[in-house]
Every structure is written in structure tokens, then in C-alpha cells.
Structure 1
């Protein structure tokens, strides 16, 4: 996966985020002497080729009032984790869901799902919905609440 000089300029211009304007691709295009269509076409190609992983908003949940951000961790049967994970990932309040390897005996959890709520009670309701969905397949579970944001950025390419 190689990039040319223009792709590199686009990455550098967008890596800290798109401009908060009505037409962000037009703003980037103007900065680089390109058209907005060219910027969007190149970004779509870089996304498709795996040069960039995603184009997405990265919210600061705390600033939005979501104080109860919890990574729920679940110990479920490995034979069912894909199917169960798919169901959990479809819940509207789960921002991301994935499988991780166990590190027994200390860490037996293999299914992870992040929830965000404004109150502890709302977070507990969301967790209860996940628990109900997983049903008898859950052997153990825990919630790891975040206490602060440590990083909200990806890789940065120097100029």
C-alpha cells in the first residue's frame, strides 16, 4: 500500500480532523489546490485500499455529558462468541464490540462491548440488556468504567 505525494498531503491535512465547516472537503481541497471531488475520491480509495482505516467522528463522551462509559467484558463459550458478538454489536447503545483472547486464569473474558450513558442507572440498564441478550451463555462478566480520556488521536504523519 503506497501513497503518492498528494495522498500524503491529504492525510496530513485531515489527520487532526476535518475542518468544522459546512463543506470540509472543499476546505481541504482549497488548502491543497485540488477539487473537493478529487479529495473525496482519493480518500475513498485510501479507505478501500487500507491506507486509512476510517473516516469518522471521534466524540469526547465526557463533554457530551456521558459520564458512565463502560467497557463490558463477558466470558462466553468460544463456540458462540461470533454469533453473540454480532447480536451485541447490533444494539444501538453499543459503540463498539469485539472478541479478544483470554488470558486464563487471570482474565477469562473474550467478548467486549463499550457502552456510554449519562447516568449510572442508564449504564446499568444497558448492561442488563446485554446480559439478557446473552442469557445462559454468560459464565462471568464485569464492567470497567473509564475515569479519564488518555488518547483520542490516531497515527500522525509529520510534514
Structure 2
């Protein structure tokens, strides 16, 4: 798993230990540094991180939740490497869907097995008419095309056009990274 972080927001109470420019006190910073490359894949990842930073697993989890509430950490989520799992055909399907039906259809498409991401995006006419995006993963392009055919059927008459944009390379998936040392002010 990985820890994805985003810029901090000020604490509303002001009742916090001294924090750096990112809103982190020394203990929070130690936790982020220990987890920014991913949580350990062990039965008790919070306990493992706690041992590394000198606190209990419960305290680590409590601080992670507090950082998430403050907006320092956006989310904790699994970040799979689809290629290593055998899914070497990854296609972003883009759809030109009737705007009046896109909310309902987007929810339906998002619920289809095999769709890992589904979202609405603005059109950029006349060159880009697509407003619904759905990421599909398969072991072959033929598998992705079969999945896209299921989506096409689900969209029905509301769909005017679509394309499949296949991945050509893997992009590094990481969140914010902190330097190991705090620069002197």
C-alpha cells in the first residue's frame, strides 16, 4: 500500500505541537517518512511502523487519522502494479455520452467489474467530444475490447462515439515525498 499526501491546512484549534511548513510535528513527520514508500505488507502494518518510529501501532493509526482529518494525508490506498499482476493491456476508454444521462450512466459504468476508474471530464470541442472516461485492465487487448463492448451496450443510445487509448508505458505512482532532513531556516 502507499500513503498519498497533499498540502496541509492549518489546524482549526491551534492546540498542536510545533509544526513545520507542511503542518507536521516531529512524530507526524517520522510517520510520513516511514510510510511514504508504502506500508509494510505484514499482518499489523501500523505496529511495524510504530516500532520503526518509537510508538505503538494504535498511536500511529490515530496520528494517521488525525493527519487525514487535517488534510495533511489525502488517503491511504493500495496502488497495484497492473503489469506485475499480468494485466498488460490497460485501456482508458473515452465516451461521447449524452450530458443529460451521464450522471446515471457514469454510476452504472463505475459499478461494472473491470472498471477501475470512472469519471466525467469536460469536452473540448471540436477536437475532443468525450466526456466519460473509464479505465479497463486486461491480459490482452482483446479482453479490454470485450469489456469495452459491455460498456458500449450499457451506454446504449446515449453513446455517440468512443475510443480506447492503450497505455504505452507505466508512470511512477507516488505521492508527496519529504526530504529526510528539515532545511535550516
The two structures have a TM-score, normalised by structure 1, of: 0.92
Alpha-carbon deviation of 1:103? 1.1
1:133 corresponds to:
154
- Aligned twin of 2:126: 105
3-state DSSP class of the match of 1:102?
coil
Tell me if 1:35 matches 2:56. yes
RMSD between aligned residues: 1.4
Which position in structure 2 is the counterpart of 1:94?
A: 115
Residue 11 in structure 1 maps to residue 32 in structure 2:
yes
Cα separation, 2, equivalents of 1:132 and 1:42: 46
SS at 2:37's partner residue? coil
Distance 1:79 1:50, change over 3 A: farther
Cα gap change, 1:48 to 1:93, in 2 (>3 Å): farther
Unmatched segments (≥5 aa) in structure 2? 1-8, 10-22, 181-185
Distance 1:118 1:17 in 2: 26
Matches within 5 A, 1:64-75: 64-75=85-96
Distance in 1 of aligned mates of 2:132 and 2:109: 9
Cα offsets for 1:62-98 (capped at 9, x unmatched)? 1111011000001112222221111111112111111
Name 1:79's counterpart in structure 2.
Answer: 100
Structure 1 counterpart of 2:45, from 1, 15, 24: 24
Q: Deviations over 1:87-143 (max 9, x none)?
A: 111112111111111111111111111010112222111111111111111111001
Task: Tell me how far apart the structure 2 counterparts of residues 131 and 47 of structure 1 sit (CA, whole Å).
Answer: 38
TM-score scaled by length of structure 2? 0.80
1:3, distance to aligned residue in structure 2 (A): 3.5
Q: How many residues align?
A: 159
User: What is the CA-CA distance between 1:54 and the residue it aligns to?
Assistant: 1.8
Corresponding residue of 2:143: 122
